[in-house]
Structure 1
Amino acid sequence: MKFFIDTADLAEIAEAKSWGCLAGVTTNPSLYAKTGGKLADFESHMLKIADLCEGLPVSVETTASTVEGMVEDGLRFSSLAPNIVVKVPICEAGLAACRMLADKGVRVNMTLVFSATQALLAANAGARYVSPFIGRFDDIAEDGIAQLADVVACLGNYDWSGKNVDSRVEIIAASVRTPLHVTKAALLGVDIATVPFKTLSKCLKHPLTDRGIALFEADWKKVEQA
């Protein structure tokens, strides 16, 4: 399973990239707002992220609500850099825009997916990536991993050759809150997990690792002092 980072923060992206395990970035309007960025600087900021990622896919989300607006955004965003993927919400307009963008060779990440049927519709409309959410199910006392399992099973039943730009559909586990979400998604065979920097850091940490490093350092000091 590949790791994307779910952020618009350049420092977080640079840090995660320095670890050597980053495979892409996903952003959305809320994440950009957290950076304190202004509307006039949005596209230039996305271009900075794309440049920083050096060819890794960067999902940039449309804020339009009509088919025409989504397509216009998608064509503009994708022209900023070759590694930009257009993020579109699953809805009637989103499906129509996805089909039109895919037919023009633009990669689409269909987001806000909460059911297997939505995922199937997105794949049929030409989505390159489908992003089912996990954590938001947990917020309403439902099982996000079970819903994710349904998406994986349904999409895995079919050959999507010819449906989208790259003749395949990758599943991005989104709204990932914990390392357990990451583990469960990987056990299901999900292609990608997109995680906030805080969660990515938690995936790296383990108390026994910290204890082992401290022990090795203490023992080595004894060697140096001998």
Structure 2
Amino acid sequence: MQFFIDTANLNEIREAYDLGVLDGVTTNPSLMAKEGIKGHANVLAHYKAICDIVDDNVSAEVIATDYEGMIKEGKELAKIDDKIVVKIPMIKDGVKAIKYFSNEGIRTNCTLIFSAGQALLAAKAGASYVSPFIGRLDDISHDGLSLIEQIVQIYDNYGFDTEVLAASVRHSMHLIQCAEIGADVVTCPFKVITGLLNHPLTDKGLEQFLADHKKANS
């Protein structure tokens, strides 16, 4: 499973990269705004700064919702760095744009996936990734993890190359469950990844080891 961090914070990205487990970054306009990144030129420069930290896979989202606008913005984003994956919304013109970018050899991440039908359309159009939002589905009393499982099965049935990128992951158990059902990628806040480090028996065991070492060497 690949680990992506869902943020535009450069310090968090560096920390995640230094941990040695980071495979990519996903961003969106809300995350950019949270970091105070304003203005088109500054946003593009920030994407480049992210690309300079990580090895690959930086999802950069278009703002346009019409076909021509998405093509124009997507081309501009793709020129920033070879690591850029153009993030496209799951709408009719978005599917058309994904097909265009696929034909041009430009990677895409189809975002705002909430059904298996949407994921099937995105894969047919040639999306590199689809991003089902499991946490948001859970919020409205739908089973987000079941959707991941369903998409994985459909893609396996037909040998689609599109990878399942589980998004809106809220906690470490979400991450583990996504791994169990075969999601290719998970994107989440850094604290969800570091949450995997924690177990009370690890803390207790380490405390005992250190205490025994101190006794043996005092």
TM-score higher than 0.5 here? yes
Q: CA deviation at 1:148?
A: 1.4
Maintained 8 Å contact 1:29/1:61: yes
Maintained 8 Å contact 1:132/1:151: no
Maintained 8 Å contact 1:26/1:59: yes
Residue 131 of structure 1: aligned partner: 131
Displaced runs of 4 or more, over 4 A? none
Q: Separation in 1 of the partners of 2:171 and 2:63? A: 28
Maintained 8 Å contact 2:122/2:130: yes
1:1-24 per-residue CA deviation (whole Å, 9 max, x = no partner) reads 111111111111111111111111
With structure 1 as the length reference, what TM-score do the two structures score? 0.93
Aligned residues: 217
1:18-56 per-residue CA deviation (whole Å, 9 max, x = no partner) reads 111111111111111111111241000000000111x31
Q: How does 1:168-207 map to 2 (within 5 A)?
A: 168-207=161-200
Q: Does 1:46 align with 2:50?
A: no
Q: CA RMSD in A?
A: 1.1
Q: Separation in 1 of the partners of 2:3 and 2:189? A: 10
SS of match in other structure, 1:80:
coil
SS of match in other structure, 1:15:
helix
Q: How does 1:56-205 map to 2 (within 5 A)?
A: 56-160=56-160, 168-205=161-198
Q: Separation in 2 of the partners of 1:50 and 1:209? A: 35
Name structure 1 gaps, 5 residues minimum.
161-167
Residue 36 of structure 1: aligned partner: 36
The percent of aligned pairs where both chains have the same amino acid is: 48
SS of match in other structure, 1:110:
strand
SS of match in other structure, 1:71:
helix
Name structure 2 gaps, 5 residues minimum.
none
SS of match in other structure, 2:75:
helix
Maintained 8 Å contact 1:119/1:155: no
